[in-house]
Amino acid sequence: MSISLYYTAKREYPITAQEQEACRKAAEQYIADYPLGEMYEPFCIYDLDTGEDIIFQGATKLPIDGGEAHFAEVHDYWSDCLQEIIGLLPDAQWHIHIDDVDVTRYFFE
């Protein structure tokens, strides 16, 4: 059983090829270095072809059946990955939530 961390970034101008590649490489590195046992689901970046101002979007499942401590470790790990990607996309407005709970502010405190 799981819940998911969802992330969406919007900006008035499109994501560049260099930004896309940097985001992809950051996620791939976190996936390759995953230290928390069997991976429930890797950090997922959706393919974007919306024609809207969304420049980055994805979701990652977080396990809730391994106990609170394991959930916190996995959450923190993927949050670090997301935090790195946030830094790669200047001027983006983010919406981050765990299922129906908005957690955006925790990434910008």
Mean pLDDT of 11-20: 92
Band the pLDDT of 49: cuts 50, 70, 90. Answer: low
Question: Of 66, 52, 93, 80, whose CA–CA distance to 2 is shortest?
Answer: 66
Q: How many CB atoms lie under 10 A from the CB of residue 78? A: 25
State the pTM of this model: 0.91
Show me where the domains of the chain are located: 2-107
What's the gap between Cα 102 and its chain centre? 14
Residue 64 has pLDDT above 90, yes or no: no
Residue 95 has pLDDT above 90, yes or no: yes
Q: What is the CATH number of domain 2-107?
A: 3.30.70
Report pLDDT for 51: 63
